[in-house]
Amino acid sequence: MPRRLLPILPLLLACVPVAQARTVEARIAQVDTPVAAMTQVRLTLDWPADAPNGRLRLRAADVDAGALGWRLRDVDWRCPLKRLVNEGRVRWHCEGPIRDRSGAALRLALELDAQDVDARLSGEGGALTLARRAATPERTTIDLKRVPAAWAQALVRSAWEAAQLRKGRLDGALRIDAPDAQPLRVAGTLAVHDLALETADGAIATEGVAADLRLDLRLPDAGPALRLDGTLHGGEWLFGAAYLALPPAPIGIGLDLQRRADGGWALPRLAWHDGDTLQLDGAGALSADGALQVLSLDATSRDAHALPARYLSGWLGPAGLSGLSLQGGFDASLALAGGVLRTADLRLRGLDIGDAQARFRFDRMHGALRYSASTPVHSTFAWQGGALYGMPFDAAAWSLESAGGRLRLREPVALSFLGGEVGFEALALELPGHAERDGDGLRMRTALRLDGLDIGRLAQALAWPAFEGRLSGHIPTVRYADNRIDFEGGLAMQLFDGRIDVSSLSIERPFGVAPTVTSDLALQGLDLQALTGVFGFGSIEGRLHGRIDGLRLVDWGATAFDAELHTERTPGVRQRISQRAVQDISSVGDASFVTSLQGKAIALFDDFGYRGIGISCRLRNQVCAMGGLHSAGNAFTIVDGAGLPRLDVVGYNRDVDWPTLVERLAAAAGGDVAPVID
């Protein structure tokens, strides 16, 4: 690799003989220069008598430029040596291939005299030109023209051992200063094109990066120190969970980096200036293994609409928020110590937050959110309105207190929603990185009150059947942690002139991939005539009771439950079932019906009396194990008839494929099942 050749040049300047002998060979145990050391050096000059040119060969067992991180073995350079005379000045020119143990095929051209050295290294479509002058022997200047970025691998690794340059080209001008008793210094400008870099563990990677940089790198014995300024022009960056997709427009950057005695890194200056989208300024420190120890950061966004796509997608995607949109601006500051967030201050300036799937929206957020891991601080913020799954809610103002690493609601908050009211009686948040608990991620606890929410509006917004009723309840504790919401307490829905109680409710990945809901439901006295009317399932008069335990919905489709539903006699309520409902029940449950009248005489009747209706289903692995009011062998009674004509509906298949059963229910509700008279 070309980086391996730089230490050779000072040696050639000192050792190339000017001799008239036919063959001259020098063997040198070790040569030390300001840039590199060479061992087991053999320099051979073969110049036949009266020949215009000679042949030069340089071999070295080991070349070590420790300050620059370069190390190579078995160097072998061969070239025809020419003597050039220009205005009385004699110079030597030699150009030929150079190789080492890696097998890299490159070409080195060298021109020198007793005072100056000029060299050009070419290969892989690029060229590196080097010059040293007798007037400034401590300085070497280097010009780069489309040099492969991999040529700088050793120099990068001297400051960042895990980094691997995979692709890219470099243009620029550098100077290397190595004065006596002073640290080596590399300074100059670099233009980077299409750079690809990654670390051994894959935690950090870049692709397609372009940049114009000014660098100043010092390599003392205590460890490297770097000052870097410049602009970035596009490219993709991955830092752990953070993913950046940068625009072609220039982004100003600044970085000061200093290795500490303990192997860690001090970052006294950090700067990132992306126009109105994001301005960052701060300082920090990293441990020897790269973990963030200390950070103070100030951020400003005057126009936040590009933030999700450019900077936030790595976090938003796993949380199911890849379509998040931001409009407006904010200012923020934070401080970390010992890897733990100590303070944070977010000031909102008319910020709108929305979701591409229309699951939520917050309008014109303003005010401040302040967080403290120690001294109590107060803050207030508000929004002017918003929506949840297309259902609007009104303005709300929040007053918060933070201390001990938590955010708490100072007083209850209520907002109108679905014709009723949602109240937050309490709220406590723990941000990621809190030192006094285990686990990562945001945690939340709240007490929730629901008063008279209109289920009809909810059903319309979610494209459900036209339910009518009210939803009320008090949930003393709602917990959110590890992308899961758990509800302690219960909800009561006044629905179909009856009641549905919801308990043991939890939601995993509420905004992520395949959200999963688990719950238990208890049904009390639902009006079957209203219920069957909504679903288009014939007509049944009576009152429905029962339970649905262990309900599990994955991506809003049922995968498991234990359901048992039955009617109970209620004073003043008739128990009648229409012929259409009988047909629908039979088609859905692989059932048939038998009556006290034979043949087609049953068709003369519109409805029938019944003593009871009961059906159960235990869903596991896409199979519904069915049952009824009572069983005899493989048969189970769904409808127990009464009166004349007496009609019983009996099922004969206890195990029903769940997707097939769902299709039958949909067909029955749509009126697509043709009646069959047994």
Average pLDDT, integer, range 11-40: 67
Cβ burial of 613 (10 Å; 0-12, 13-18, 19+) is buried
Task: Let me know: does 543 contact 528? Beta carbons within 8 Å.
Answer: yes
pLDDT value for 303: 97
**Position 584 confidence tier, pLDDT thresholds 50, 70, 90:** confident
Torsion of CA 581, 582, 585, 588, to 10 degrees: -100
Q: Which residues contact 117 (CB under 8 A, 6 or more apart)?
A: 9, 10, 12, 13, 110, 111, 130, 131, 132
Taking residue 375's Cβ as centre, other Cβ atoms within 10 Å add up to 9
Nearest to 492 by CA among 470, 461, 465, 518: 470
Phi/psi region, residue 669 (left: phi>0; alpha: psi -120 to 50; beta: rest), is: alpha
Q: Tokens for 586?
A: 């039979």
Give backbone dihedrals phi and psi of 307, rounded to 5 degrees, phi first.
-60, -50
194-234: pLDDT as tens digits = 999 998 888 889 999 999 999 998 888 778 899 999 999 99
User: Residue 359 in contact with residue 388, Cβ under 8 Å?
Assistant: yes
DSSP alpha helix (H) spans, 616-673: 658-669
- pLDDT at residue number 14: 43
- Cβ atoms of 424 and 407 closer than 8 Å: no
How much is the pLDDT for 143?
93
d(CA 13, CA 114): 7
Give Cα 314 distance to the centre of its chain: 3
Residue 247 has what pLDDT?
92
The encoded tokens of residue 115 equal 């005072």
Considering only CA atoms, which of 223, 222, 245, 225 is closest in space to residue 235? 245
Mean pLDDT over residues 279-291, rounded?
90
Encoded tokens for 138? 């401590």
From 502, 548, 542, 499, select the one nearest 524 (Cα to Cα): 499
pLDDT digits (tens, 9 = 90+) for 415-425: 999 999 999 99
Local structure of residue 602 (DSSP, 8 states): G
513-523 pLDDT tens trace: 788 999 999 99
* Predicted TM-score of the model (pTM): 0.73
- Mapping DSSP to helix (H, G, I), strand (E, B) and coil, where does residue 121 land? strand
What was the pLDDT predicted at 534? 78
Q: How far apart are CA 408 and CA 58, in angstroms?
A: 74
Residue 320: helix, strand or coil by DSSP? coil
Residue 66: pLDDT band with limits 50, 70, 90: low
Q: Which residues are registered as beta bridge partners of 23?
A: 46
Share of residues in the chain with pLDDT > 70 (%): 88
Whether 575 and 590 have beta carbons less than 8 Å apart is answered as no
User: Residue 223: what pLDDT?
Assistant: 80
> Any idea what DSSP says for residue 476?
E
What is the spatial distance between Cα 358 and Cα 368, in angstroms, rounded to a whole number? 25
If one counts every other C-beta atom within 10 angstroms of the C-beta of residue 3, the result is: 22
Question: For residue 466, how many other CB atoms are within 10 A of its CB?
Answer: 11
Average pLDDT over residues 484-512: 85
| Beta strand segments in 305-403, E | 324-337, 340-355, 360-372, 377-383, 385-388, 391-393, 396-403
Q: Structural domain boundaries of the chain? A: 1-121, 514-669
Distance between CA atoms of residues 581 and 539, nearest Å:
6
- For residue 596, pLDDT over 50 is answered with no
Beta-carbon contacts of 210 under 8 Å, excluding residues fewer than 6 positions away, are 192, 193, 194, 195, 232, 233, 234, 235
Phi and psi of 224, rounded to 5°? Answer: -70, 150
Whether residue 546 contacts residue 615, with contact meaning beta carbons closer than 8 Å, is answered with no
Confidence of residue 455 (pLDDT cuts 50, 70, 90): confident
Q: Is there a contact between 15 and 26 (Cβ–Cβ < 8 Å)?
A: yes
Residue 112: enclosing H or E segment and its boundaries? strand 106-112
How buried is residue 463: exposed, middle or buried, by Cβ count under 10 Å (0-12/13-18/19+)? exposed
The pLDDT value recorded for residue 672 is: 47
Q: What is the residue whose two structure tokens read 């029955």?
A: 668
Percent of the chain past pLDDT 90, that is, above it, reads 39
Q: How many CB atoms lie within 10 A of CB 48?
A: 11
| DSSP element (H, E) containing 298 | strand 292-301
d(CA 614, CA 612): 7
Residue 532, pLDDT above cutoff 60: yes
Distance of CA 94 to the CA centre of its chain: 55
Question: What is the structure's pLDDT at 598?
Answer: 44
Find where tokens 């951020």 sit: 299
Q: Taking residues 100-105, report their average pLDDT.
A: 78
Query: Between these two residues, 535 and 407, which has the higher pLDDT value?
Result: 407
For residue 398, give both structure tokens.
């929040």
Instruction: Name the band, by pLDDT with cuts 50, 70 and 90, for residue 460.
Output: confident
